[in-house]
Structure 1
Amino acid sequence: MIGLFFALAPRMVEEGMNRVLPHEPVTLSAAAAALHADLIVGDLHADSLLWRRDLHKRSNRGHVDLPRLREGNVALQVFTAVTRTPAGQNYEANASDARDNITLLAMAQRWPPRTWDSLAERALHQAAKLRRFAAKKPESLRILRHGDDVPELLAARRDGAKTLGALLGIEGAHALDGKLANIQRLYEAGYRMIGLHHFFDNELGGSLHGTGGHGLTDFGRQVVERLDALSIIIDVAHSSPESVRDVLALTKRPVVVSHTGFRGVCDTPRNLDDELMQAIASRGGLIGVGYWAAAVCDVSAAGVVAAIRYGVDLVGADHVALGSDYDGATTVPFDTAELAVLTDTMLREGMDEVTIRKVMGGNVARFLAEHLPPAPR
């Protein structure tokens, strides 16, 4: 019975949480198919490392694996480590001391015992998983660590390589276990984007879904300063408005909102208000539009494109990107193999090619090339 639990429980949990809505096969116009094949496609957020799957194999569950990424012509994918989520998880308010969902999942998936009571070890374990995938087939997967890695990867893809550029991110800096020194450990493990919060207030300050709504603590300010010093990209996707304002006041570097929607088109507690989104963009930031209900309200290709169009009109085409939240306990209208449906929908709705190229991945490529740490000399 115990063996059956370990064999079946993780699969059953994922099948129930990472769903694709039933739909007819995607039919593309010839113009959309040709354009999509020529795009740089990039996505700022997927939680695929949380689940027990070999990303080199095409799966019939979840949203992302390397075969489907190749089918979707994805060049750049941020893989984000989830280390803790609260029981009763919701977008309105979660207690910081709520029972953690990930502990039982880690045990069921046979993660090492050191991960059972350390969030930092959970992040390090997920980074090691991605490194093993890259070592197994380096022609298929390259982990991006420095700004120069991005143009090198894209040049290789122009010459016919099918290599995916993968960036490691963290969803919530509670993964530091309250220790500033763990930033260096995570950096050395390959992490280059760190979200300050997830679904609850933590040692750094207030979450968008916490109970206090407060800004950064002294520890949070120290973390922001250390991330800046290492050129680690800061993600404020789940940070409270006050925390976001504090970050913008502290850092001169642009930040990202890796997976979100816009309040003006989808007024839910998951989305920051439009004025704050404009402030993020005015500092050179990048905003990734998600595909699930709380982000875009209308869970369809047309709904996602409506959110993208709204964002382009609000903050400018240079500041909008894709931020799927694939494999993040979301129900979506298409998986990563079907991303060309966005290109097709944008073309059908009259969006110009320059804007499509930027939103679908050009902005992600530019941002990472400019703001990842420089390569050591």
Structure 2
Amino acid sequence: MKKQWWAALAAVAVLGAAVFFLVVPPVVDGKLNVTLDKGPYAVSQRAASLHKTLFVADLHDDALLWNRDLLQRYDRGHADLPRLLEGPQALQVFATVTKSPKGLNYERNGADSDSITMLAMAQRWPTRTWSSLLERALYQGEKLHAAARDSGGRLVVVKSRADLQAFVAQWRQDPHRVAALLATEGLHPLEGKLENVDRLFDAGFRMTGLTHFFDNEVAGSAHGLEKGGLTPFGRSVVQRLQDKGVLIDLAHASKPAIDDVLAITKKPVLVSHTGVVGTCPGPRNLTDDHLQRIAATGGVIGIGYWDGAVCEPSVSNIIRAIRYAVDKVGVAHVALGSDFDGSTTTPFDVRGLGLITQGLLEAGYSEADVRAIMGGNVQQLLLAQLPER
């Protein structure tokens, strides 16, 4: 009887482990990353013809967080290489997510809890990632580099102007390829150490958010408890990042933190994924003043697709937010910042980007303006600001 009891207990443990490791991660992924319209996506002949010629760039995707192979097509989530190629999309910024408070909300979160630890365990990430935010960022970066190596040249990680120039030249000859830029969702992976800026840079990171959903050692978050500005450590970090040619992303930063960065920046800054208060009030959406001051640095603002950015997630609301931003700062400073795969609900996946092209044409934008908004502005910013080599 005792042997039978232990055998039953072992069987239950094995079954529980199988559910935890094999079932939970894809179920959570599918429930949190929702596409309202899974396609096919129909657009006008004019929009389709133009869209195929565009260098489409998106400033924020969290696909590296999830237990997916970027080179395989999935029926969950918003983007993978097959769907990016089908989009088609020419450049994607992939962000690394390393910590997320339990009970996450848009108004007020502490830094004393974390839901990513359990997800990392369930997805069988290396044990080094279970207790280190830096290692989580580095591991997700390794996933991107490995996918690029195995892609047959269809996914190319760019780390410099020379890399991007070479990619653009190849893309013009054969657009069936995607450039990838590595970014962080907040700088808590620094773990309070300035030298970890160099660790991230050496690992290929070329864009860094300052904060995510909680205040950290660098700055206050729009969703944090204190919502303060840059810390003294944060000022040193901004200086080191700009010296190395890493772009600073103000998404999720508190208003005082945005003000502090704008007061000291010597280079363009950007917001990778956001909305605008003028069409959708919210604690992290940009005021007219911040839109104008960010644009004045030479930066760009990536308009998101989810409810927190545009209220009701729809193509018409995305176009409305883009039009508002353009009216305030001009075409040259507006871009796409989907927040695909960021535990978001969006009106389409990456294959539906032609719907935005069509919406912009219907809103009266010229083809040149559509080219700029859909990716030309991002290409120009990166070619000007990435390290030379």
Q: Which residue number in structure 2 is paired with residue 94 of structure 1? A: 109
AA aligned opposite 2:54: L
Q: How does 1:47-196 map to 2 (within 5 A)?
A: 47-97=62-112, 99-196=113-210
Matches of 1:325 and 1:144, distance apart in 2: 20
Q: Which residue number in structure 1 is paired with residue 362 of structure 2? A: 348
CA deviation after TM superposition for structure 1 residue 269, in Å: 1.7
Matches of 2:384 and 2:146, distance apart in 1: 27
Matches of 2:111 and 2:291, distance apart in 1: 26
Q: Which residue number in structure 2 is paired with residue 324 of structure 1? A: 338
- The answer to whether the 8 Å contact 1:149/1:369 transfers is no
Match for residue 298 of structure 2 among 281, 284, 287: 284
CA deviation after TM superposition for structure 1 residue 148, in Å: 2.0
Q: Which residue number in structure 2 is paired with residue 366 of structure 1? A: 380
- The answer to whether the 8 Å contact 2:253/2:284 transfers is no
CA deviation after TM superposition for structure 1 residue 244, in Å: 0.8
Match for residue 248 of structure 1 among 255, 262, 265: 262
Please provide the CA RMSD for this pair.
1.0
Matches of 2:351 and 2:168, distance apart in 1: 20
Q: How does 1:32-51 map to 2 (within 5 A)?
A: 32-51=47-66
Deviation sequence 1:299-355 (CA, Å, 0-9, x none) = 111110111111110111010000000000000000001111111111122222111
CA deviation after TM superposition for structure 1 residue 24, in Å: 6.1
Matches of 2:286 and 2:377, distance apart in 1: 21
- Flag structure 1 segments of 5+ consecutive residues without an equivalent: none
Structure having the higher Rg: 2
CA deviation after TM superposition for structure 1 residue 25, in Å: 3.5
- The answer to whether the 8 Å contact 1:139/1:161 transfers is no
CA deviation after TM superposition for structure 1 residue 138, in Å: 3.9
AA aligned opposite 1:289: I
SS in 1 for 2:161: coil
- The answer to whether the 8 Å contact 1:139/1:162 transfers is no
Q: Which residue number in structure 1 is paired with residue 23 of structure 2? A: 8
CA deviation after TM superposition for structure 1 residue 4, in Å: 2.2
AA aligned opposite 1:267: P
Deviation sequence 1:17-51 (CA, Å, 0-9, x none) = 00001466321111101000011100000000000
Matches of 1:111 and 1:140, distance apart in 2: 25
Q: How does 1:197-216 map to 2 (within 5 A)?
A: 197-216=211-230
SS in 2 for 1:133: helix
Matches of 2:222 and 2:183, distance apart in 1: 19
TM-score of the superposed pair, with normalisation by structure 2: 0.94
Matches of 2:94 and 2:284, distance apart in 1: 20
Q: Which residue number in structure 1 is paired with residue 36 of structure 2? A: 21
Percent identical pairs in the alignment equals: 51
CA deviation after TM superposition for structure 1 residue 161, in Å: 4.5
SS in 1 for 2:90: strand
CA deviation after TM superposition for structure 1 residue 374, in Å: 0.9
- The answer to whether the 8 Å contact 2:145/2:157 transfers is yes
Matches of 1:141 and 1:23, distance apart in 2: 24
- Flag structure 2 segments of 5+ consecutive residues without an equivalent: 1-14
AA aligned opposite 2:70: L
Deviates more, 1:34-43 or 1:211-220: 211-220
TM-score of the superposed pair, with normalisation by structure 1: 0.97
Q: Which residue number in structure 2 is paired with residue 300 of structure 1? A: 314
Deviates more, 1:267-276 or 1:127-136: 267-276
SS in 2 for 1:234: strand
- The answer to whether the 8 Å contact 2:41/2:351 transfers is no
